[in-house]
A and B are shown apart, each in its own frame.
Chain A
Amino acid sequence: MSDVVLVFGYALLTALATGLGALPFAFVRQVSARAITWSNAIAAGLMLGASFGLVSEGSTHGRLETLGGALAGVVFILLTQRVLGDHDDAELSFGAIQGAGARKMLLMLVVMTVHSFSEGVAVGVSFGGGISLATAITIAIAVHNVPEGVAISAVMRPQGVSVLRCAGWSVFSSLPQPLMAVPAFLFVDAFRPALPWGLGFAAGAMVFMVLVELLPEAFHDGRRGSVASLTTLMLVAMVLFQRALH
């Protein structure tokens, strides 16, 4: 029983770490058009890099299952977009923000929250390998969550959401991690076959979100060269960062 509490506690810590991603945005006062472009490019690079890691990890469990999961992730986002309505839908509101901005924030939150489910399963399954490694894995996942919080805050902060709320939503997006980690830990054998599907799903959803929302907007407002450079830098940094934690 104490093991279950430990797994839950550790996974909860990793969720809280996501909130730290809002910190850099405490220093951004003015939200200019340029800041929005850069934020989009930063979020795009971080999410693409994270997806590279997910696909790589998923492929070690099953390449075709990972790709199947990615396809399901894309379909899921398409359906979510359908539910949230068209770009210019002024009816939609999220807190004080309305229309296209609210739609994008909601989509971002859905994508990042859903992707945490499969990460939670990954945590639980790897804990199943032996609780002695738990601390190391927890620290790795917690640190890995920080840039994901940056990605979420990069989308929310330019819409005028306060830093504290950015942190709150970042933590929220990671809450599925502790919730999924426990059952995955308890029933490792049942969950393990689902892992490549889940990781692929998360990757497909994130890459699609980047390609359909973040990059078009960044290119619309910013110079191509700068957007490309920032995205490339963030992508490679995220890949190296995740590798270093592994």
Chain B
Amino acid sequence: MAGTEPILQVFFWSLAAAFAAGLGGLPQAVVGRLPQRLLGWGNALAAGLMLGVAYALLDRGLGDALLMGGLGALVGMISVEATHRLTGTEELDLNRLGELDSAYGYQVVVVTALHSAYEGVAIGTAMLLSVPFGISMTAVLAVHNVPEAMLLTAVLRARRVAVSHVATLAVAAKLSQVLLAVAVFALGASRVEALPLLVGFSAGALLQLLLEELLPEAYRQAGSTGIALVTLVAMGMVVALGGLA
């Protein structure tokens, strides 16, 4: 796709990342019910990959516009906090497999949709920095979508939702990623001065998300040594990948 227009590349790659979420049902289809510890490591894997993307964005994208970057990060962080509070999901336990609760299913889907919207901003921003870099970061987030969807699958399957329904829902909840990625790319391409702001926003939002949603969950599902190792290895892989793009 080397000759394709950049904005179409953003569209295709972010769409592919969203569809990767459809694969989240696979581990369960193969193994059956997943042990808690595996879910914890899935959370840690997703968190480590996000941490790596946040590092890569800050390392590459800030340039000398430190104040703009800092302002962006503050807005990104506050924005994630605000959306959590507005939807009543700030202390939501995302991996409750047990008791049924009518509001719970809605909350899980809302959190997933918002989470992927912020990732869309990060994809668009990474693509603005350079298309190869953007593609590598999108690939990382696509991989990250799989364990995330695995958790969603575990929750919904425990409520006896059909596998095909779960896979479709997992992808549908991720589609906000595509919209935001394309919109941010279009915006940033016409307003270059906004780039450090976007870099800061993406990094601040990703950090807040992984620290608020993924890691606390992970620590409750598996021992902290295992979680730390999985998170670090995942982050290391993104750092290694950053050298290629």
Question: Is B243 located at the chain interface by the 8 A CB criterion?
Answer: yes
Assess whether A63 is in contact with B243, with CB atoms less than 8 Å apart.
Answer: yes
B contacts with A, residue count (CB < 8 A): 38
Question: Is A80 located at the chain interface by the 8 A CB criterion?
Answer: no
Question: Is B152 located at the chain interface by the 8 A CB criterion?
Answer: no
Assess whether B212 is in contact with A225, with CB atoms less than 8 Å apart.
Answer: yes
Binds A, one of B25-33, B114-122, B165-173, B201-209: B201-209
- Min CB distance B205 to A, Å, is 9
Q: A211-B232, A236-B200 are in contact. Are A55 and B55 (CB under 8 A)?
A: yes
- Min CB distance A65 to B, Å, is 11
Chain A 45-85 per-residue mask, 1 if CB under 8 angstroms from chain B, else 0: 00000001001100100011011001100100010000000
In the complex, chain B residues whose CB is within 8 Å of the CB of A74: 229, 232
How many angstroms from the CA of A211 to the CA of B74 in the assembled complex?
Answer: 23
Interface SS, A side: helix
Question: Is A229 located at the chain interface by the 8 A CB criterion?
Answer: yes
- The listed residue (B208, B228, B240) touching A208 by CB distance below 8 A is B228
How many angstroms from the CA of A46 to the CA of B36 in the assembled complex?
Answer: 31
Q: A212-B228, A228-B208, A239-B58 are in contact. Are A59 and B203 (CB under 8 A)?
A: no
A213-246, CB < 8 A from B: 213, 215-216, 219-220, 223-225, 227-229, 231-233, 235-237, 239-240, 243-244
Report the nearest B residue to A77, measured CB to CB. B228
In the complex, chain B residues whose CB is within 8 Å of the CB of A223: 90-91
- Min CB distance B177 to A, Å, is 21
How many angstroms from the CA of A90 to the CA of B83 in the assembled complex?
Answer: 43
In the complex, chain B residues whose CB is within 8 Å of the CB of A220: 219
Chain B 162-187 per-residue mask, 1 if CB under 8 angstroms from chain A, else 0: 00000000000000000000000000
B residues whose Cβ falls under 8 Å from a Cβ of A? 55, 58-59, 62, 66, 69-70, 73-74, 77, 81, 84-85, 90-91, 200, 203-204, 207-208, 211-212, 215-216, 219, 224-225, 227-229, 231-232, 235-236, 239-240, 242-243
A residues whose Cβ falls under 8 Å from a Cβ of B? 52, 55-56, 59, 63-64, 66-67, 70-71, 74, 78, 204, 207-208, 211-213, 215-216, 219-220, 223-225, 227-229, 231-233, 235-237, 239-240, 243-244
